[in-house]
Amino acid sequence: MPDEKKTILIVEDDVITSLAEKIMLETNGYIVLTASNGRKAVDTAIRSHVDLVLMDIELGGNMDGHSAAKKILEKKNIPIVFLTAHIEKEMVEKVRSITRYGYALKNSGDYVLLSSIEMVLELFEAHEKTRISEENFRRLVEDINDIIFSIDGNGFLTYISPRVEAVSGYRVEEVINHHFSDFTYGNDIKKVKKLISTFGEEREYKSEFRKIRKNGEIAWISASLRPIFTDGVFAGATGILSDITERKKSEEKVKHLLAEKGDLLNEINCLYKISRIAEENTASEDAVIAESIMEIPSGFNKADKITVRINCDGRIFFSGKSILFSDSVKKNIIVNGGVHGNIEAFYSDGHSFTEREKLFLETVAERLGRVIELIIAKNELRELEKEIISISEDERQKIGREIHDSLGQILTGISFLLKTVSNSNNNGLIPSEKIEEISNLVYDATMICRKITKGLPMKSIGHDNLVIAIDQLAINMRNIYQLNCEFACKGEVKLKDDFTSSQLYYIAQEAVNNAAKHSSAGNIKIRITKEDDVIKLTVHDDGKGRVENDSGGIGLSIMKYRSDLIGGTFRAENHFDRGFFVSVDVPL
């Protein structure tokens, strides 16, 4: 007897037979429903819960057992067992075409019928479990985004899930029995065939390749396969195919963006270097262009294949030795509103320029134009400053001459007249000692006037007498301030003009005066040397140096200013040993 009561529908037009079967089945623990004709049997089976139908084949009325069974099975999946008194072949085939659960002979006994019912119910339950499992698997296969497939030992598809149509556009029947490498794009066919040929053990193999969709589009596919071996021989494989087209597109986009970022960084770095070069070479247009042209190729995609040529006012500059006179990019260099020259780039391998590279070269041309404008303006300003300094020096010389030639002479005349009065007898009206005292005071004023006059040179320091002038400066410092001031010269010092010579002299004069007046120095060393086309002036004292947070007054600013006028490099700092150190390097 079953653990749970099952409901059985008896379809029998013989009332006595139906009643007998009903009593027997209920006695054995079943719930029994009955129907005397085919139509009632269909209605009862569909509307009620029925676990099994015992169907008499030969029913009276317009619908026999076969027809009723078909109607029921169209609406419900119920096991049907036919009851018949005939076992002819024709009858058996007819039953088999309707239900897999067969038939039972009437009047075969209760035991046989009960056994048949139990067997059919168990078989139906097993079939249902299998059907549900298969249905769940089918749904799983159809619902996932990946394609499940299997191939035989020759690489031909033996199964592929319906998802293939959504990915490729091909229906299952259009793909099945094709080789796994079919529909593969271009050279990826070799990759797929090589993948299958390398199967040597039961493990996971992965690869990525391109497939051609039915509409002609290219799809990127990621394949994961696990081969199957029978007695050591490759018998096939199962696996999963994933559509990674969007991922590949994203990777390509990221790759493109990273490349653009790299190009932009190269361009920015190149433009920064040009600006830095311009800051370090403010006096020479040629020097800026010659150094900048070597940095410009780094802003292009293939820097090692780029040659740059710059033509500025008839002067030609090259970044390399060879130029391919074919396609090139050329941009004008505009300075103060006019064409000053041009910059041209060539790819030695014939590579085409991108729009970004053309824009970059235009930016470089604009930057060079602004740099040249700045250099021209600074040079003009420097010349103007030199002219102002020259005028200032002329005025100082004029003042010196006036003091020397007028005031000095007048004071000397007064001293002479007073001495005359002192030597004459004027009835004692003017005491001689007073006259002598006035004469001494006037004489002292004359000496002071002369000292002041010596501090104002009568003319600029010539480019050929700088050494003599600084040597005299050292002598004056010893006499006036009573300290040890030494001067030494190494090498043949010849400057290009009087202006440079004068500025170096004034820097030395300011440095030694500062040391004597402010640092309590006892010793001062002045050195001037020539080393590798550079004139180097140094002044070192043994005083207290410059205290921390002391700006150094206007003297250091003046020295730095004079150094800049002659294109020098100026340093002023406490010496590591003791005292203060001033140096100027001037390129010849």
pLDDT tens digits, one per residue of 481-499: 778 999 999 888 888 788 8
Residues near 429 by beta carbon (within 8 Å), at least 6 away in sequence? none
- Please, what is the end-to-end C-alpha distance for the chain in angstroms? 122
Of 144-158, 395-409, 454-468, minimum mean pLDDT range: 395-409
Give the pLDDT of residue 7.
92
CA–CA gap between residue 151 and residue 228 (Å, rounded): 10
Cα separation values, 502 from 146, 386, 460, 498, 588, Å:
87, 11, 6, 6, 15
Q: What percent of the chain has pLDDT over 90?
A: 17
Residues near 392 by beta carbon (within 8 Å), at least 6 away in sequence? none
Mean pLDDT (the chain) is 81
What three-state secondary structure class fits 327? coil
Of 110-124, 339-353, 391-405, 409-423, minimum mean pLDDT range: 409-423
Pairing of the two strands 31-35 and 7-11: parallel
- Residue pair 516/483 in contact (Cβ under 8 Å)? The answer is yes
Residues facing 83 on adjacent strands:
56, 104
Q: Retrieve residue 256's tokens.
A: 């493109």
Give the pLDDT of residue 177.
93
Give 472-488 as a DSSP string. HHHHHHHHHH-SEEEEE
Residue 418 has pLDDT above 70, yes or no: no
CA–CA gap between residue 469 and residue 509 (Å, rounded): 10
Q: Which of 467, 451, 465, 475 is nearest to 400 (CA)?
A: 451
For the beta carbon of residue 586, count every other beta carbon within 10 angstroms: 20
- Residue pair 332/325 in contact (Cβ under 8 Å)? The answer is no
- Residue pair 147/228 in contact (Cβ under 8 Å)? The answer is no
Residues near 386 by beta carbon (within 8 Å), at least 6 away in sequence? 499, 565
Task: Return the top range by mean pLDDT from 70-84, 375-389, 442-456.
Answer: 70-84
User: pTM higher than 0.75, yes or no?
Assistant: no
Q: Which residue has the higher pLDDT, 506 or 539?
A: 539
CA–CA gap between residue 198 and residue 207 (Å, rounded): 12
Of the pLDDT bands very low, low, confident and very high (cuts 50, 70, 90), residue 263 is: confident
Give the pLDDT of residue 545.
83
- Residue pair 317/293 in contact (Cβ under 8 Å)? The answer is yes
- Residue pair 161/171 in contact (Cβ under 8 Å)? The answer is no
Give the pLDDT of residue 400.
58
Q: Which of 193, 200, 252, 249 is nearest to 223 (CA)?
A: 193
Of 163-172, 255-264, 518-527, minimum mean pLDDT range: 255-264
CA–CA gap between residue 541 and residue 526 (Å, rounded): 9
Of the pLDDT bands very low, low, confident and very high (cuts 50, 70, 90), residue 395 is: low
Q: Helix, strand, coil shares of the chain as percentages rounded to 5?
A: 50, 25, 30
User: What tens digit of pLDDT does each residue of 539-557 get?
Assistant: 999 988 875 555 556 778 8
Residue type, 365: A
Q: Residue 32 CA to chain centroid, in angstroms?
A: 80
Of the pLDDT bands very low, low, confident and very high (cuts 50, 70, 90), residue 326 is: low
Q: Which residue has the higher pLDDT, 171 or 423?
A: 171
Cα separation values, 478 from 84, 483, 505, Å:
148, 5, 17
- Residue pair 180/153 in contact (Cβ under 8 Å)? The answer is no
CA–CA gap between residue 304 and residue 368 (Å, rounded): 22
Give the pLDDT of residue 169.
92
- Residue pair 196/155 in contact (Cβ under 8 Å)? The answer is yes
- Residue pair 348/322 in contact (Cβ under 8 Å)? The answer is yes
CA–CA gap between residue 267 and residue 261 (Å, rounded): 10
Largest CA distance in the chain: 193
CA–CA gap between residue 406 and residue 412 (Å, rounded): 10
Q: Which helix (H) or strand (E) holds 285?
A: helix 285-292
